[in-house]
Amino acid sequence: MSSLKQYLRNIEQQRLDNVIEVIGIPKAKDENLENISLKLAETLNMDRTQVINITRVESRNIQDGNIQLQLKHVEHASLWVRASKQEELVVEQIIPEAPVEVAKMKVTMRRALTKANKSLLWLAQQKLRPAYKYVWFQDGKVLLRKDDKAKPEVARSEADIEKLSAQTKIIGHSFNR
């Protein structure tokens, strides 16, 4: 990938630095996103006034889209995501009147990613997950770690992922699905 393309991808991702995605909350007919953000803040012991915008991003398929919370500052996004990892969130905590079939479904929060970066992360997870215990996105790149003590490896492009995939095959294991 050219350095200009990478630079533009990084700028696009930086625009989302103060945005988090809430995944797993089913869309209701008359949903009130303000109430959802208020309940999320309450459940996570966070300040609701940090949220400056809340929207539901429509999905391409039949699934409900994610909810995006835009926060005042980048630091707030980190705090909300960290709080969500400490509290096991389920739908009924956020929407008490949720139907029984979805009430116990897990709700997760993460930093918002651009479409290109979501695709890159997905590709890395599909091709490299069996060989790498941890696959995550941070600071404009996919990071991979084989075990708890290993140094993280970096993948900034599809070419990097293909290279790492080929290396795992050379070692004598074919980890591709």
Residue 1 has pLDDT above 60, yes or no: no
Residue of 27, 69, 21 whose CA lies nearest to 49: 69
Nearest to 124 by CA among 90, 83, 93, 153: 153
Listed by start position, the domains of the chain span 17-111, 115-170
Q: Which residue has the higher pLDDT, 14 or 169?
A: 14
One DSSP character per residue, 80-98 reads HHHHHHHS--BHHHH-TT-
Q: Is the pTM of this model over 0.85?
A: no
Decide yes or no: CATH 3.30.70.1820 for domain 17-111. yes
